[in-house]
Chains A and B, each alone.
Chain A
């Protein structure tokens, strides 16, 4: 099978979904089944620039469904049923063509068991009704590049993880797994597993794993229920641009930007070392979920962050490899160009036609369409501020402008531009309903 056939085969399977027992999913009605299949097909055809009945519409929020249902982020993080009810209300009320699951708040107890230090979350440094927030720091030291480059997994386990999880201190004592070679001397490698700190770490991991499983059960059941009601979730997994992997939570913004001057060769080597890992992260998630769409939130290559030259030298080469590697395996990379990407459009436009989906926020999306033409499907971009502060008329005008200018000829999915926490419900409703009405081809 070539890569496109793999994608097609994945969609074939999505079109006849199974329940957890492996039987055909029981749709709540024949209409729900038809709606589900139409929604999946409309999405796929749009991404591939084939004819469809209308412009697809989706909503990709952050914490909005929780506030909208009157619960706090904290409640959703600690009570999975509440989280699921809020997301159910969100999907059934706004009726997007595709939905993106209930996983955004995440399992609070799981983070507690592992003593997660990378983020502040409700009850742990931010207020109950606020989104979690990242605590920026140099979690990887500048002199550790060689360790990361030589063996990223060893570096993560023995250095990075113990810094961001209080409960993973025991990992610092473990030898590399690659020391296990032959019978002679074998047991020496396993002595640390007998030591209390290591055993404590594993104990915490078992508990965390049990909690994660419980949470994943709730998430999976939600997706199944939504599918049965006609709302597919085709999100298959997540990966990152190697520059963001290192720049967000390893070296941090300051760290990576200083490294561009102080140790550019090391940085590039590290980006290259992370590239196959980022590709595999997306592919293995897609294999597990059976869904092709791989979410890639793009951070530090946006307008204003880097010059053209810096973007082409440090950011794009490895991101491009990640995108191509995913396509090769039949996935549909879904880069989310956070911030503005106006100055990057000429660089990204040469990606294989009809194989990716790009979400834009503050990019001039009409100009993006002119440049990306019939190669790259665009998703976006009703602004957060408009959803929260604007009127229904503002939203309709904006949607109309998008459909008239970007929707022409297909390859466009209407949605919000950024992952929002707050909005007027009537504005979200207008965004979806008006697209369904006005977006008919």
Chain B
């Protein structure tokens, strides 16, 4: 049944996947075991996205399936399969910008790839980022921005992080709509990523896992 569940998720058969989870729970299979199968399925989804056979619709549906299963088993994957978290990533959309779809997908991909992600939301002020770096102590900070106005917001934020004496504690990656390598240079970030998989690749190369 475990294999069937994995297959149903990977084939994007939502109703079938949920029915299988219910059946597994009725048969006394533990939430943790259900979620470990789901985790395996999410890894495959991530790989398919990376290979270019899955696109945004599959990621969005996979996220939705994951949420629904978490509700069914009344616990989330993060708590259940805690052991193999690689490290912490802080993410948010920079000040002045209120877009979240891109950031949410990056968060989802980091999460299913085993990172402990804290998402600050959109239009995040520099003070909030800095406080979160102090409290949450991430190794990686991901900045998302949709509009060209985010170039300056990112540059200012990174300067603030530097001023707070935190710049060498974190690696910073940027991404979203109009960003590119030139913007990376301008803002003083460590890397620019064009999609959610590159965020995962950077996090892996900096944190391991």
Contacts and interface: CB of A to CB of B under 8 A. Distances in A.
Contacts, number: 81
Interface in B91-116: 96-101
Given A385-B178, A385-B179, A389-B183, A133 B61 contact: no
Nearest to B100: A136
Nearest to B101: A253
B131 to A, nearest CB: 22
Contacts of A389: 151, 182-183, 185-186
20 contacts: A120-B98, A127-B96, A133-B98, A133-B99, A253-B101, A254-B101, A258-B57, A258-B60, A258-B61, A261-B12, A262-B14, A307-B54, A385-B178, A385-B179, A385-B182, A385-B183, A385-B186, A388-B148, A418-B178, A421-B148
Interface in A122-159: 125-127, 130-131, 133, 135-136
B195 interface: yes
B149 interface: yes
Contact of B56 (A130, A261, A306, A383): A306
A68 interface: no
B43 interface: no
B149 A421 contact: yes
A132 B101 CA distance: 17
B136 interface: no
Contacts of A418: 148, 178
Given A253-B101, A304-B195, A385-B179, A131 B147 contact: yes
A26 interface: no
Interface string A256-282: 011011100000000000000000000
Nearest to B61: A261
B160 interface: no
Contacts of A136: 99-101
B84 interface: no
A257 B59 CA distance: 9
A32 interface: no
B53 interface: yes
Given A389-B182, A390-B182, A133 B97 contact: yes
Nearest to A421: B148
B180 interface: yes
A310 B56 CA distance: 11
A384 B61 contact: no
Nearest to B104: A254
A244 to B, nearest CB: 14
Contact of B98 (A126, A257, A258, A306): A126
B96 to A, nearest CB: 6
Contacts of A120: 98
A304 B148 contact: no
Contacts of A258: 57, 60-61, 64
A422 B149 contact: yes
Interface string A367-392: 00000000000000001111011100
A305 interface: yes
Nearest to A127: B96
A125 B122 CA distance: 12
Interface in A306-361: 306-307, 310, 339
Interface string A289-317: 00000000000000011110010000000
Contacts of B179: 385
Given A131-B147, A258-B64, A384 B101 contact: no
B101 A420 contact: no
B55 interface: yes
B55 A304 contact: yes
A393 to B, nearest CB: 14
A261 B179 CA distance: 31
Contacts of B177: 339
A126 B149 CA distance: 12
